Structure formats: C-alpha cells, structure tokens
Amino acid sequence: MSIVRIERKQRANLRRGATLLDVVTGSMLLSVLLIPSLHLVTRSQKMHRRLKLHESMLFEADQLLQQRKILLSDTVSFNKAWARPMSSPEPTKIVTDGGLKLAASVLVQRDTRIKSSKLLAITAQVWLDRNRNGRVDTDEPTEQLQSQWGVP
C-alpha cells in the first residue's frame, strides 16, 4: 500500500482586523472631522435656544403693546392717560406656553416730539429676570418695543 500525499496550496491568511496604521488613520480623520462638527452642533443648539427665547420675548412684548392699545382705544381711558402719564413702568409677570417665566413692564407717556398732536408713546419691555429682582440687568436678555397711539 502506498500513501499518496496530496499537497494543498496554503491560502493567504485573510485578516479580519485593522492594522495599526488603519487605526491611526481613522483616529486622525475622526479628530479632524468629527470633533469640529460636534462643536458646531452644540453651538447651533445654543443659538437656536437663544433665538427662540428672543422670539418669545418679542411676541410677549407685542401682545402687551396690543393690549394697551385696546385699553387706550376708549376715549375716556386715553384722556386719563394723557392727563396723568405714568411716571414709572407698570411691572407684570408672564408665563409663556413653554413654561418660561418672564418679567415685563409697560410705560405710557406723552409723546412730545410732535407738539401739535395728542400722541401717547407706549413702551413694552420683556426680559428674562434671572435674579428675580424685578429690574433689567445688563447680563439678562431683553427685548423692547415702542409704539405711538393717537387720540381715538
């Protein structure tokens, strides 16, 4: 009996992992592309939150102006405001639909820029009162709208 030996060609080992060079190259690409992208995303989210806050404050300031104009559309109310303009702003608190607590003030005074007309200047200011002192501080976000209202 003779034994026949069959030679098989060895296949090249297929590597199923990454070489050290592949890992280093991948890490460099991640650090060059991914990390700055993450910073951009976080900055974009901050800007979006700030924009949404200012948009809410402008909306509330506009609502305060419109409410005051409705009150002043009555001739008796207008004449009373003309005779005794406010010496200091009238403070109020606002809670938005999103649960954000804002401070606001409305000031109605005579507009003396045009001498011949009976105009009232209405100023509405809304701010995020972080320290809850009822005053606008320099580090607090604020929005202010002004309008005029003539005798009805």
Tokens, residue 49: 């939150």
Could you list the mean pLDDT of each consecutive 10-residue stretch along the chain, which spans 152 residues?
A: 61 70 88 86 95 95 96 93 90 89 94 83 94 89 94 81
User: For position 98, what pLDDT does the model report?
Assistant: 82
d(CA 61, CA 105): 9
Please list, residue by residue across 62-98, b when 16 or more beta carbons sit within 10 angstroms of its beta carbon and e when fewer do: eebbeebeeebeeeeebeebbeeeeeebeeeebeeee
R_g (Cα) of the chain, nearest Å? 34
Residues 6+ apart with CB under 8 A from 8: none
d(CA 65, CA 88): 16
| H or E element in which residue 43 lies | helix 35-72
Quote the distance between the C-alpha of residue 10 and its chain's center.
Answer: 67
In the sheet where 90-95 sits, what is the strand order?
90-95, 101-110, 119-127, 142-150
User: For position 103, what pLDDT does the model report?
Assistant: 95
Tokens, residue 18: 């990454």
User: For position 67, what pLDDT does the model report?
Assistant: 96
